[in-house]
């Protein structure tokens, strides 16, 4: 009996994520996945279940990594307004191919809308967590006099989340680095006291 081929599960998941991110769920075939992951079809099923389970795992991993990066950029500077600007500008990849991918979460929302409860719950969990961090940072900026205190902090946090989506969708639609960074700065400038 032949011994099953060993493979690095994390590396295979990363390759699957790249394919789903670029093509979306519906346009990605199982053949696309096994080729990118460099594993056999049965190994894919044994390790990840079916295509849907693999997609959910890849998207979950992506959401956790991207949200962690957003929060890190948001909280790194002492200045709240600088943290918000770094978070927004951090969405803009210098590499043309990477920037053209936009955000896998936005791609998923565009493909499925609110029709898949598992994906909606995943997006809501990330958005709620990030909104809480934004809300805290906005309030810190208002107390420090950096952010207009007449603005409702909750509305600002919601606006920033929607601006992030807009920037990422514009990136996937072909917007360039300079244009996207101008949009990020414009958004931040509207908040200043």
Distance set, CA 131 to CA 42, 109, 135, 157 (Å): 40, 17, 6, 6
What is the reported pLDDT for 5? Answer: 55
Q: What is the end-to-end Cα distance of the chain in Å, rounded?
A: 72
What would the two tokens of residue 122 be?
């995943």
Strand, coil or helix: 148: coil
Average pLDDT over every residue of 117-125: 95
Q: What is the DSSP letter of 2?
A: P
What is the reported pLDDT for 6? Answer: 73
Average pLDDT over every residue of 120-138: 96
Give me the percent of the chain exceeding a pLDDT of 70: 97
Residues 67-96: pLDDT tens digits?
999 999 999 999 999 999 999 999 999 999
Quote the pTM value.
0.91
Residues 156-190: pLDDT tens digits?
999 999 999 999 999 999 999 999 999 999 999 99
**Helix and strand numbers, DSSP H then E, in the chain:** 10, 0
What is the reported pLDDT for 4? Answer: 54
Residues 31-53: pLDDT tens digits?
999 999 999 899 999 999 999 99
Average pLDDT over every residue of 15-33: 96
Which domains, from first to last, does the chain contain? Answer: 60-189 (1.10.357.10)
Burial 54-83 (b: 16+ CB within 10 A, else e): bbbbbbbbbbeebbeebbebbbeeeebbbb
């Amino acid at each position: 009996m032949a011994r099953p081929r060993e493979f690095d599960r994390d590396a295979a998941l990363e390759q699957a994520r790249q394919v789903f991110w670029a093509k979306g769920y519906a346009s990605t075939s199982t053949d696309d996945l096994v080729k990118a992951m460099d594993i056999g079809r049965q190994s894919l099923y044994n390790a990840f279940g079916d295509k849907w389970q693999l997609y959910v795992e890849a998207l979950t991993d992506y959401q956790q990594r991207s949200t962690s990066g957003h929060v890190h950029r948001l909280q790194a500077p002492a200045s709240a307004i600088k943290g918000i600007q770094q978070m927004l500008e951090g969405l803009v990849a210098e590499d043309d191919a990477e920037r053209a991918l936009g955000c896998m979460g936005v791609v998923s929302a565009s493909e499925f809308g609110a029709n898949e409860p598992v994906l909606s719950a995943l997006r809501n969990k990330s958005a709620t967590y990030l909104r809480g961090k934004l809300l805290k940072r906005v309030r810190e900026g208002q107390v420090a006099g950096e952010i207009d205190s007449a603005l409702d902090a909750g509305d600002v946090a919601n606006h920033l989340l929607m601006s992030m989506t807009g920037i990422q969708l514009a990136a996937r639609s072909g917007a360039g680095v300079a244009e996207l960074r101008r949009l990020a700065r414009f958004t931040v400038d509207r908040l200043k006291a």
